[in-house]
Amino acid sequence: MKPDEALVLIKDVLTDVVPGADAGALSPDENFRESLEMDSLDFLNFIEALSERTGLALPESDYPALNTLDGCADYVASRASME
């Protein structure tokens, strides 16, 4: 999976998990967890949905890499290419 493909998927998951979220309005390096006012349960739902859609295990130790669109897309793309 390429980073641009991962980005589309991540935005889809965000809009599914956070009703009314405008993922298109987020800047690539913006902390979307803060910008979308996601609480810990929202973020966990995002992680679970992303894991289901990608088939990747997303360990808690990697959560800090998953707070921005670019960081998340790079992480997913690099992990998906290893699978």
pLDDT digits (tens, 9 = 90+) for 21-77: 898 899 999 999 999 999 999 999 999 999 999 999 999 999 999 999 999 999 999
Which domains are delineated in the chain? Answer: 3-82 (1.10.1200.10)
* DSSP output for 48-70: HHHHHHH-----GGGGGGGSBHH
Is pTM beyond 0.85? Reply is: yes
Q: State which H helix or E strand residue 21 sits in.
A: none
